[in-house]
Amino acid sequence: MSPQATTSQTVGPFFKLGLSWLYCESMVSDEVAGERVTIHGRVVDGDGVPVPDALLEVWQASSLGKYAHPDDTQDKPVEAGFPGYGRIPTDEHGVFRFVTIKPGPVPGPEGKEQAPHLVISVFMRGLLRRLVTRMYFPNDARNGADPILNLIEPARRSTLIAAAVEPPGSLEWNVILQGADETVFFDLGL
């Protein structure tokens, strides 16, 4: 009998001890190509209280839409120096902030293109297993045809699309755990 995936458990409140060595404020060095964006937002619980002990993990493609991974067999060069991974904690006000580049579009189901997006895991005390979500970019015409966004009821799609704010190049995107504006989370099994 083949083994079964190990059960998930919460990160608890003290994960900083083991995980902070990979914390980053920026996912990109100066040499990396692409449009810089500074993304910030808050993680908020069901009482509207900011969560000071949450952790976001970001995975994304390069500006050409290429993942730095052997299973991405697209005929595009891997961008050296851009691993595409970021680990960002919330601060005492429940706020996270990081710099990255806007990725290019990547292939999706049925040969359809996916609009530029980040895939994001959310961890915190109180979550027995991670939450999985995505962040899309504002004012991008490709969002309308995105095969994943289109699986979501229209009224909730906006929870995954960041807002352009001042100064230029700044995006705001919040993780709302419960309530009317609850962020869309995906079922990937784990």
Partner 1 sequence: MNSIAAYRPIGVGTQPNHLHPPYVSSIKRSPTKPLIQIPYTLSEVTGPSFESRLVSPAASDLTHQQHGDPLGERIIVSGRVLDEDDRLLSNTLIEIWQANAAGRYAHEWDQHDAPLDPNFTGCGRAITDSEGRYRFVTIRPGEYPWRNHYNAWRPAHIHFSLFGPAFATRLVTQMYFPGDPLLPVDPVFQCTADEKARNRLISVFDLETTMPMHALGYRFDIVLRGRDATPMEDK
Q: Of 93-152, which residues contact partner 1 (CB under 8 A)?
A: 106-111, 114, 117, 119, 121, 123-131, 134, 148, 151-152
**Candidates 11-19, 33-41, 136-144, 164-172; binding stretch for partner 1 (CB under 8 A):** 11-19
For partner 1, the binding residue among 24, 38, 40, 45 (CB under 8 A) is 45
Residue 51 contacts partner 1 per CB under 8 A: yes
CA distance 163 to 169: 11
Residue partners of 102: CB distance under 8 A and separation at least 6: 34, 35, 37, 63, 116, 137
Q: Which residue's CB is nearer to partner 1, number 15 or number 38?
A: 15
Residue 185 contacts partner 1 per CB under 8 A: yes
> Is 113:105 a contact under the CB 8 Å cutoff?
yes
Q: Which residue's CB is nearer to partner 1, number 93 or number 156?
A: 156
Residue 190 contacts partner 1 per CB under 8 A: yes
Residue 31 contacts partner 1 per CB under 8 A: no
> Is 94:41 a contact under the CB 8 Å cutoff?
no
Residue 83 contacts partner 1 per CB under 8 A: yes
Angle (nearest 5°) at CA 37 between 36 and 43: 155
From the number of C-beta atoms within 10 Å of its C-beta (0-12, 13-18, 19+), residue 6 rates as exposed
